[in-house]
């Protein structure tokens, strides 16, 4: 699955992201010490989210419950063809944003910019606003 290299190249280029071997095979992506997701060699992408974000993604059919820990914040998305990479990168970017917003000098501007780029619905914008400093 050479197109998985595109996912790795894209995600590893984001500020503050590092790539590590994943304990169950594949590559793990971290923002600092926090995992934003990992991809297995078979194209399975597992991504952790806060529970409300995870629930919204499942309701909208954008991801599936994680196969090993379905009652958690973890999701699974299976990359079956090259066209799925764009969606996988978008999901990984949403996971990344909860950490990037906390570290940004202007988190509100970053959220606006990313919301437009990712075509986020008002629902997801509202869920992610909770990760901007000063918002309860």
The mean pLDDT of 103-118, rounded to a whole number, is: 95
Confidence of residue 130 (pLDDT cuts 50, 70, 90): very high
Q: For tokens 């290299």, what's the residue?
A: 5
> For the segment 37-88, what is each residue's pLDDT rounded down to a tens digit?
999 988 899 999 999 999 999 999 999 898 877 788 999 999 988 889 999 9
The mean pLDDT of 32-38, rounded to a whole number, is: 95
- Above 80 in pLDDT, residue 92? yes
- pTM for the model stands at 0.92
Confidence of residue 136 (pLDDT cuts 50, 70, 90): low
> For the segment 114-124, what is each residue's pLDDT rounded down to a tens digit?
999 999 999 99
User: What are the strands of the beta sheet with 64-65, ordered from one edge?
Assistant: 17-21, 27-31, 34-39, 44-48, 74-78, 64-65
Q: Which residues pair with 28 in a beta bridge?
A: 20, 38
> For the segment 7-30, what is each residue's pLDDT rounded down to a tens digit?
999 999 999 999 998 887 789 999
């Amino acid at each position: 699955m050479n197109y998985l290299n595109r996912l790795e190249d894209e995600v590893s280029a984001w500020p503050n992201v590092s790539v590590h071997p994943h304990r169950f095979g594949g590559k793990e992506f971290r923002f600092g010490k926090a995992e934003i997701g990992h991809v297995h060699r078979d194209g399975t992408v597992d991504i952790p989210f806060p529970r409300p974000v995870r629930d919204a993604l499942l309701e909208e059919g954008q991801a599936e419950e994680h196969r090993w820990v379905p009652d958690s914040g973890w999701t699974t998305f299976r990359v079956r063809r090259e066209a799925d990479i764009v969606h996988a990168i978008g999901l990984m970017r949403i996971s990344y944003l909860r950490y990037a917003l906390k570290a940004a000098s202007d988190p509100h501007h970053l959220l606006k910019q990313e919301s437009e780029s990712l075509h986020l619905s008002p629902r997801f914008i509202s869920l992610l606003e909770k990760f901007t400093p000063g918002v309860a």
